Structure 1
Amino acid sequence: METSKPLIKPQAIVFDMDGTLFQTETLLIPAYHNVFNKLREEGLYTGETPPEQLMLGSLGMLLEDIWKVVMPKEQVHVHRRADELLLQFELQGLQEATSKLYPSVPNTLWELHDRGVKLFVASNGLEHYVKGVAAAHQIAPLFDGLYSAGEYATTSKVDLLRRLMDDHGMERIWMVGDRSSDVEAGIKNGQTVIGCAYAGFGKEDELKGSDVLIDDFSQLLALYDQAAE
C-alpha cells in the first residue's frame, strides 16, 4: 500500500464496479464469446472473434466506446446489437452464479457499512448490469446508491460522480477504482482517489495521480480507521 498524503475521513466512499469490486472476467469472457457467436449467426459479423484483451483493456470506458476499440470497422447498428447481446448474456451468467467478487470485497464492505460509512457505486456500465451484479452477489443492500452511465446518460465518470455528489449533498468522498477514468473523476471533482492495483486490466500508468494505491481491497479498512476526522 502506497500513500502520498494524509487522509481525512470521507462523507462516503464511492466504488467503481469492474476491476474494483467485481472480477469482471469471470462473467465477461464467456459472454463476450457468446456475443460474437450470435453476431455471426445473425449475419452481422464475419471473421474471428477479436482478442479478449481488447475488451479487457477497454474496461472503464463507456460501452459505445469499447466497441469502437474491439470492432472499429463495424457499423453503429452492429455495435448497438452487441450492447443488447452482451447485457443478455451477462445477466444469464449472473443467474448461473459462476461470477465472482474479489475475495475480500464482501467482508470489507460489511465492515465499512457497520462503521456507518455511506457506500455508493459509480460505474460506466449499463444500469441493469451494475444493479444485476450487486444483486446477484448480495451486496446491493449495503449501498446508498448504484449509479451508472447507463441510467443517468452521462458521457464521463467525471459527470457521473458530480451527479452522485450533488444528489446527496456531499463535498468530501473517496473515489475507489482501478482505471484512469476513476482517477480523473476523483481529481476533477477535487476528491481523494484510492487506486486499486490488483485487477491488472490497465496500462502501467493507469493509476497515476491516485492519492493511495492498494493491492488488496481489505486495506481500505486500515485507511479508513487511520484517517483523520
Structure 2
Amino acid sequence: MPQLQAVIFDLDGTLIDSAPDITGAVNKLLTRYSRPTIGVEQVRGMVGDGAPILLRRAFAATGAEIDPLASDEIYQTFLDYYEQQPSSLDSIFPGVPETLDLLLARGLKLGLCTNKPERVTTEVLAQLDLARYFESVAGGDTLPVRKPDGGHVSWVMERLGASKDGAVMVGDNHNDIAAARGAGIPVIAVSYGYPHFPTAEMGADAIIDHFTELPAMLDTLANR
C-alpha cells in the first residue's frame, strides 16, 4: 500500500458506545406514541442503517409499524429528543482520544462517515470533544447516499484530499465494509461494535479487538 494519507471512521460502535443514549431518545419517542419501551441490547441490534430504519425497527418491535403519513414528524421528534439527550464521556471507547491524537501526530488526516443524522452527529461530537479530530464529517443525511453506498465514503475522501491508494476505513458493521469496498479502499473492522453478524464473516482486510491496536494494524496493512 502506498503512503497512507487519511483514515475515515464510522462513529457508533467504532468510536463511541452510543446505544444507551440512543435508547434514551428512542424510549422518549415510544412513550410519546404510547408504545412500550425497549432495552439497550435491543437497540444495539437495530442501529447501523440510519435513524429512519432504526425507528421503523423500534416501532415494529413495539406494535404496529410507523404510519407513513406520520414518518416525517416521528423522525423530527426523534432528532429533537436525541439532541437533548446528554452524551456521556463514558460512551467513548477506551483508547480512542489517545489513538486519534497519535494518528494526527503522524500527519494523517481524519474523516468521519456515519449513518447518524448530521445535526445529531455534530452535537454528539461537540459534547464529547471529538469534533476537533475530523477535517471532514458526513452524516447519514448529508448526501443523497449513505453507507453502504461507497459514494458516502468517497465524498469524505475527496474533502480530505485523499486518494484511493492512500485511505483506509475503520468501522464495525457490514455497511462500513461495503462502503469501503465501494470506495475502493481497505477496511479494518473493530470486533467490539454493533455487527449484525460475526465480525470475522464480514470480509474486512483486518480486525482489531481494541482501538489502541489501530496504529500497528495500519502499519501492517501498509507493508502488505
TM-score by length of 1: 0.83
Residues 139 and 48 of structure 1, relative CA distance in 2, 3 Å threshold: closer
Q: Percent identity?
A: 24
| Counterpart-to-counterpart distance in 2, 1:17 and 1:35 | 23
Q: Which moved more, 1:115-124 or 1:202-211?
A: 202-211
- Structure 1 residue aligned with 2:223: 228
| Counterpart-to-counterpart distance in 1, 2:151 and 2:196 | 22
Q: Report the residue type matching 1:71 in the other structure.
A: F
Q: Report the residue type matching 1:61 in the other structure.
A: D
1:132 to 101, 123, 129: 123
C-alpha deviation, 1:125, in angstroms: 1.3
Write the mapping of 1:184-223 to structure 2, written as runs, cut at 5 A. Answer: 184-204=178-198, 208-223=202-217
C-alpha deviation, 1:85, in angstroms: 2.6
2:32 to 34, 38, 49: 38
Task: Mark the runs of 5 or more structure 1 residues left unpaired by the alignment.
Answer: 1-6, 41-46
- Structure 1 residue aligned with 2:46: 58
Alpha carbons 2:83, 2:120 under 8 Å: kept: yes
- Structure 2 residue aligned with 1:110: 101
2:140 to 126, 149, 168: 149
| Counterpart-to-counterpart distance in 1, 2:90 and 2:144 | 27
| Counterpart-to-counterpart distance in 2, 1:66 and 1:206 | 24
- Structure 2 residue aligned with 1:89: 81
Task: Mark the runs of 5 or more structure 2 residues left unpaired by the alignment.
Answer: none
| Counterpart-to-counterpart distance in 1, 2:110 and 2:58 | 33
| Counterpart-to-counterpart distance in 2, 1:69 and 1:206 | 25
- Structure 2 residue aligned with 1:67: 55
| Counterpart-to-counterpart distance in 2, 1:105 and 1:111 | 10
Match of 2:207, SS? strand
Q: Report the residue type matching 1:39 in the other structure.
A: Y
Residues 35 and 154 of structure 1, relative CA distance in 2, 3 Å threshold: same
Match of 1:94, SS? coil
Match of 2:168, SS? strand
C-alpha deviation, 1:132, in angstroms: 1.3
Residues 145 and 107 of structure 1, relative CA distance in 2, 3 Å threshold: same
- Structure 1 residue aligned with 2:155: 163
- Structure 1 residue aligned with 2:71: 79
- The answer to which structure has the higher helix fraction is 2
| Counterpart-to-counterpart distance in 1, 2:31 and 2:200 | 31
Over the residues paired in the alignment, what is the CA RMSD in angstroms? 2.4
| Counterpart-to-counterpart distance in 1, 2:4 and 2:54 | 32
TM-score by length of 2: 0.85
C-alpha deviation, 1:67, in angstroms: 2.5
Count how many residue pairs are aligned between Structure 1 and Structure 2.
Answer: 216
C-alpha deviation, 1:177, in angstroms: 0.4
Alpha carbons 2:114, 2:147 under 8 Å: kept: no
Alpha carbons 1:180, 1:206 under 8 Å: kept: no
| Counterpart-to-counterpart distance in 1, 2:199 and 2:193 | 14
